[in-house]
Amino acid sequence: MSGNEISTLVISIIVLLGALLSLVSAIGLVRLPDIYTRSHAATKSATLSVLCILFGLFLYFALVDGYVSARILLGIVFVFITAPVGGHLIARAAYHSGVSLWESSIQDELHTKKKNQHSSS
């Protein structure tokens, strides 16, 4: 096997891993019971899947075509920073607007934290 074939194989595995993580994220969005667990599935696995696919694309252009793309690197950084923050903000907004937790949830740490802040003031 030549170096180009090995590079293509590694890149293919990374992109396939990203596609599988995207499938896991989609299944999590459909199967999980409430907005908080769905938000977790959307932010964790979907972010990682997009990062794997973009990293595979970056490697393809860098190793096979000999072209380093700053746009792809910026896309990786942008997704890495904004997707988890956006998911967190959506979950906080849902909590503050009164969306209930799943009935089998064991602990509501944010409610406990808010109660402790009000009692200490």
- Specify whether the CB–CB gap between 20 and 46 falls below 8 A: no
pLDDT recorded at residue 45: 87
pLDDT digits (tens, 9 = 90+) for 53-94: 999 999 999 988 889 999 999 999 999 999 889 888 988 888
> What stretches of 32-108 show up as alpha helix (H) in DSSP?
35-59, 70-96
- How many Å apart are CA 62 and CA 69, to the nearest integer? 8
pTM over 0.75: yes
Residues 6+ apart with CB under 8 A from 80: 47, 51
